Amino acid sequence: MRAWRVYAALVLLLTRCLQTLAYAPLSDDTLKHRIPWPETNDFDIHNGPILAPILVPRVPGTPGSLEVLNHFIKFFGNELPDWTISLQNSTSKTPTHGDKNVPFHNFIATRHPPWVSTGNAGYLTLVAHYDSKYTPEGFIGATDSAAPCAMIMSAVRSIDAALTNKWAAMESQGFDLDLDDEQSRGIQVLLLDGEEAFQSWTATDSIYGARSLAEEWDNTMYPAMSTHKTMLNSIELFVLLDLLGSGENLPIPSWMQNTHWSYQHMAEMEQRLRKLGLFKSDAKQTWLTEKEKKNDGVFQQNIMQDDHIPFVARGVPTLHLIPSHFPREWHRIGDNAEYLDIPTVEDWSLLTAAFAAEYLELEGYFDPRPQALRAARDEL
Ligand SMILES: *[C@@H]1O[C@H](CO)[C@@H](O)[C@H](O)[C@H]1NC(C)=O
Ligand SMILES: [Zn+2]
């Protein structure tokens, strides 16, 4: 048994070295007729089921924060019952709360193939922060980052049925149980708390939730002989969405050289969706402007401070989707519901879903879209 396990580990190591990175393109047919659109009402700012409940002040430790957290729990519980939900809690002093400990709650939702045991799954991890800034009073942070949270929620719902279909097909076909990465890959959503500084951004007054989570996962060991050593190691790609959803079409550079390949895939998908007429926002401008940048080009990877920092510091590959110039209303009271451009929010959701579907190699597993839903955009 022991020798067999050592041998199996060696084989696994070898396959991991030989294999290429995850990604299989979706067909035009899947993009046009199959992958579910965000539902029309999802992002209604007044009563839409996904976005509207997030458009409230949600400063850590306040009732608004807990209401939004409950909204995430209910959404996944009702719409995505195959996902595993958990919270990671911490507390910290802040420059504005004196001796009081402020509580932070990170929301975590995970789904991996049913045959994969804990410690052997690797994740595409979609991330946004849900807390809002302490000041100015009444600040909503619609682009920062209510809308990105909603984009991720809608995107994972769009690919959930295809994941079910794929994993059912793989199970029924039977496969070699020396699992390779492709057979062990899952998806994870992190909606993080305490990204914003209470007073002004410093290493200790910012990203409270992300710092706590990265440290805890770095120290949480999986059983010996697992594919991944720690919970942190099971993140294959950390995709962080921030300051998205205004109609300003601000360019998003490729920040990180080691994930430039994934940026290029997403940029390619953006261009395809535009060319196929599947975007609702009317802008002709490209968001991901650096698709043609070469691997030896300039990457300004240490400039942007955000939730990825403690993960990057521990070696987690990160795709950071944030514009280099911030939206006009950034950190102002004007970053409110009306500031959002809803077609842009929908398009980001679709782009995120399509990117995740390619990463998880879901081509061939999407059912045709119901006729009623097809009409609207199929005219395009
Ligand atoms: C985290 O905090 C929430 C909200 O207070 C609580 O319901 C939950 O039980 C806590 N979870 C853990 C793992 O401590
Ligand atoms: Zn902010």
Q: Per-residue pLDDT tens for 139-170?
A: 999 999 999 999 999 999 999 999 999 999 99
Q: Is the pLDDT of residue 380 over 50?
A: no
Non-local (6+) Cβ contacts of 21 within 8 A are 261
294-298 — which CB contacts under 8 Å span 24+ positions?
295/257, 295/260
To which residue do tokens 């995107």 refer? 155
Sign, CA torsion 17/5/237/229:
negative
Mean pLDDT of 213-226: 96
Give the pLDDT confidence score for residue 40 in this predicted structure. Answer: 74
Closest atom of ligand 1 to 69 CA is: 4
Q: Is the pLDDT of residue 3 over 90?
A: no
Q: What is the pLDDT of residues 244-295, one digit of tens each?
A: 999 999 999 999 999 999 999 999 999 999 999 999 997 788 999 999 999 9
Mean pLDDT of 38-65: 95
Q: For atom 14 of ligand 1, which residue has the closest CA?
A: 89
The ligand with the least distance to the CA atom of 108 is 1
Distance 89 CA to ligand 1 centre (A): 6
Domain parsing of the chain, residue ranges:
25-378
Bridge partners (DSSP) listed for residue 173 = none
Q: Is the pLDDT of residue 58 over 50?
A: yes
Q: Does domain 25-378 have CATH number 3.40.50.300?
A: no
Q: What is the pLDDT of residues 76-135, one digit of tens each?
A: 999 999 999 999 999 999 999 999 999 999 999 999 999 999 899 999 999 999 999 999
Give the pLDDT confidence score for residue 17 in this predicted structure. Answer: 42
Q: Which residues are known catalytic residues?
A: 195, 242
CA angle in degrees (0–180, nearest 5) for 56-347-186: 85
Q: Are strands 102-111 and 84-92 parallel, antiparallel or unpaired?
A: antiparallel
**Residue 291 burial by CB count (10 A; 0-12/13-18/19+): exposed, middle or buried?**
middle
Distance 142 CA to ligand 2 centre (A): 10
Give the pLDDT confidence score for residue 14 in this predicted structure. Answer: 45
Neighbours of ion ligand 2 (CB under 5 A): 144
Distance 144 CA to ligand 2 centre (A): 5
Within its chain, how far is the Cα of 61 from the centroid?
A: 24
The preferred substitution site among 68, 87, 90 for testing ligand 1, maximizing ligand atoms within 8 Å of CB, is: 87
Q: What is the mean pLDDT of the chain?
A: 92
Position with higher pLDDT, 298 vs 3: 298
Distance 152 CA to ligand 2 centre (A): 18
Bridge partners (DSSP) listed for residue 103 = 91
Nearest C-alpha neighbor of 353 from the set 168, 80, 160, 191: 160
Residue 204 structure tokens:
């200790």
Give the pLDDT confidence score for residue 22 in this predicted structure. Answer: 74
89 C-beta closer than 6 A to ligand 1: yes
Give the pLDDT confidence score for residue 261 in this predicted structure. Answer: 97
**How many residues comprise the chain?**
380
Considering all CA atoms of the chain, what is the largest pairwise distance in Å, rounded to the nearest integer? 64
DSSP letters of 323-356? -SS--TTTTSTT-SGGGB-HHHHHHHHHHHHHHH
Give the 3-state secondary structure of residue 308.
Answer: coil
The preferred substitution site among 71, 89, 192 for testing ligand 1, maximizing ligand atoms within 8 Å of CB, is: 89
The share of the chain scoring above pLDDT 70, in percent, equals 91
| Cis-peptide, bond into residue 49, ω within 30° of zero | no
Give the pLDDT confidence score for residue 282 in this predicted structure. Answer: 77
Give the pLDDT confidence score for residue 9 in this predicted structure. Answer: 53
How many Cβ atoms are within 10 Å of 369's Cβ, its own excluded? 18
Nearest C-alpha neighbor of 352 from the set 179, 159, 213, 162: 159
Give the pLDDT confidence score for residue 8 in this predicted structure. Answer: 52
Amino acid at the residue 97: H
Q: Is the pLDDT of residue 61 over 80?
A: yes
Q: What is the pLDDT of residues 297-310, one digit of tens each?
A: 999 998 899 999 99
Bridge partners (DSSP) listed for residue 124 = 187, 237
The share of the chain scoring above pLDDT 90, in percent, equals 83
Q: What is the pLDDT of residues 312-349, one digit of tens each?
A: 999 999 999 999 999 999 999 999 999 999 999 999 99
91 C-beta closer than 6 A to ligand 1: no
The ligand with the least distance to the CA atom of 306 is 2
Q: Is the pLDDT of residue 16 over 90?
A: no
Give the pLDDT confidence score for residue 284 in this predicted structure. Answer: 81
Distance 212 CA to ligand 1 centre (A): 15
